[in-house]
Structure 1
């Protein structure tokens, strides 16, 4: 749990994908997150958290459905949404919350 707290207290934005291995829509998020990382590079850190293996963290952030995406910076929740979010929408959201644009 402390490792997770350290991770989300980062100065750069951290996007956490709360997922489950049995979840179909969660599987759809993997290539989307890869595209986001490819587009934004070092401007964003993306972390996947398996809710079945990390129940305490999932409960702490009241994750009730998967996938749930939460964008953190310096330990604060900037944005969250459950369900599949498309690549361009996700990039726009991350940029809106201050991730520098990779040029």
Structure 2
């Protein structure tokens, strides 16, 4: 099993940011995710996946646009959204799935 798959099975929520280097909105999302991480701390993991470098993962999770955020809990996708999401929304979703 891949390290990524093991990580997703974590009992705490894992927020995965599927993004790309060339993507403008992905760059906008970076400080938002840093803000969320500083607020939620160890209550959740936040991981960035470059879709150009990890095509098989992008295909597996049917990523059609970037950025796409997927929240996993116990290995299952519990929330998904494409585009830039406000920090307050992300914090609320993570707290909801703790």
Displaced runs of 4+ in structure 1, greater than 4 A?
none
What 5-or-longer segments of structure 2 have no aligned partner? none
Deviation at 1:80, TM superposition (A): 0.3
* Conservation of the 8 A alpha-carbon contact between 2:73 and 2:97: no
Paired residue total: 98
Q: Determine the structure 1 residue equivalent to 2:22.
A: 22
Deviation at 1:4, TM superposition (A): 1.0
How many Å separate the matches in 1 of 2:65 and 2:55? 13
SS at match of 2:18: strand
Q: Per-residue CA shift, 1:57-98, capped at 9, x if unaligned?
A: 010000110000000011100100000001101111111122
What 5-or-longer segments of structure 1 have no aligned partner? 99-103
CA RMSD of aligned residues (A): 0.9
How many Å separate the matches in 1 of 2:37 and 2:49? 16
SS at match of 1:52: coil
Q: How does 1:1-103 map to 2 (within 5 A)?
A: 2-98=2-98
| TM-score, with length taken from structure 1 | 0.92
| TM-score, with length taken from structure 2 | 0.97
How many Å separate the matches in 2 of 1:64 and 1:46? 20
* Conservation of the 8 A alpha-carbon contact between 2:19 and 2:26: yes
SS at match of 1:48: strand
